[in-house]
Amino acid sequence: MRMQVKFLNGLNTIGGNVVSFTQGKTRLVMDFGVNFAPSETPTGDLLANGTLPDLPDLFTDVSSEYETTIFVSHLHLDHMGALKYLTKPIDVYMSQASADLYYVLTKLGIESAPYANIKVIDFEKPTSFGDFEVTFFETDHDARGAAAIRIRNGEHTVVHSGDVRLDGPHPERVNHWADVLRDENIDLLLLEGTEFSFDEANDIAHERYTEMSLQQNFAQILQSSEQLVVINPYERNIDRLVALQATVQANGREMRWDHQFATILLAVGMTDVKEIDWETVLAQPGHYVIQNHFNQLHDLDQFNGDYVYLHMNGEPLGEYDPRFAELSDYLTNNDVLFCSLGVSGHATPDDLVALAQHISAKKTVTWHSFKPEKEAKALREVGLNVYLPTKGETLNY
């Protein structure tokens, strides 16, 4: 019996990449995200326009012959955002750290997927699903608990890289799973290519920031400014939030979080977490750093533009989101400089090529990129066999 690998989404986009593996009556789906999808859009429309993967039996009352299991490599929306649209109970596997964060987000009402039966899969513990064996490997991305995933059917091996970087705090995690897989004669590597999406001119013009350099630059701003400092980070990047508070304290200021962020940080074991008390902050603004979520943007009205605003990969994430223009207009109208202090969670083009060379799969698919053909060209130039599938295409093994 053959394994079918079907590419359902994310071939020409950053995120929303979904692939299914079927053999017999067993179907594995990974990941399960969406790109930007306005909350008011009906599920049927999201299926019709391709925002949701072409798996109607999971989103409607259509029946299916398959026993389906979903796997989530990490807890970013573009890798798990479709869970809330499920219409029937489905087992959803993720790492322990991802499951812990998902529980908190659900408790806060940030996530709600009543049909997602969350289960934990331990790192490097092969687990059987029908004729398949699935193994999670801990990796480095800007989300705690992120994984690369190996899928075996007894004869062939496929690897889903997930989102990955090699200049983050834990490159040893990536090097470990790459070394393991190098020795396994991988049939197919599904490799993200986010950083190939951008023009070379822009790559040259902008310095490559890391989590470490972000903290250094943040410290410099704290030291050079006497104003209130406002930060807009992403609540799912737990390790960065912990580091931000440490940097704030090391520079003689106090950190204050909104209720949502404070609840998350306390739930994951962080201590000395304090919520915003506006009266206290207003009395001595230059002593504080406050975290501000877009939904509470107008809380900043009371400072009359007298603050420094640092966007740190929080929402709205980019210009594709209409709220980004609203944020920019608000800051402009209040004479506040918009300062981007973000860090990519994705490997550089050179690192991606080196990673693919190291694993040296029989065939590599480039996706999770606006320009997968650009990554494909770079991989071919170093002698790798690259395949660019079309949406809905199936490979048989």
Tens digits of residue pLDDT in 68-94: 999 999 999 899 999 999 999 999 999
DSSP 8-class letter at 145: T
Q: Say which residue, 220 or 38, is predicted with more confidence.
A: 220
Q: What is the CA radius of gyration of the chain?
A: 22
Q: Are 164 and 141 in contact (CB under 8 A)?
A: yes
The stretch 328-352 carries a mean pLDDT of: 92
Q: What are phi and psi of 91, to 5 degrees?
A: -70, 130
Q: Where are the domains of the chain?
A: 4-199+346-396, 209-340
The CA distance from 186 to 156, in Å, is: 8
Q: For 304-327, write each residue's pLDDT tens digit.
A: 999 999 999 998 877 777 888 999
CATH code given to domain 209-340: 3.40.50.10710
pTM over 0.85: yes
The tens digit of pLDDT for each residue in 347-365 reads 999 999 999 999 999 999 9
Contact 163, 365 (CB under 8 A): no
pLDDT of amino acid 223:
95
Domain 4-199+346-396, what architecture?
A: 4-Layer Sandwich (3.60)
What pLDDT is recorded for position 203? 47
Q: What integer pLDDT is reported at residue 44 of this predicted model?
A: 86
- Kindly state the average pLDDT of the residues 249-261: 96
pLDDT for residue 250 is more than 60: yes
> Exposure string (b/e) for 129-164, b if CB count within 10 Å is 16 or more?
bbbbebbbbbbbbbbbbbbbbbbbbeebbbbbbbbb
Helices (H), 183-237: 200-205, 211-224
- Is the confidence at residue 46, as pLDDT, over 50? yes
Over residues 162-174, mean pLDDT? 96
pLDDT reading at 219 higher than 50: yes
Q: What confidence category does residue 38 fall into, taking pLDDT thresholds of 50, 70 and 90?
A: low
Q: By C-alpha distance, which of 258, 261, 255 is closest to 237?
A: 261
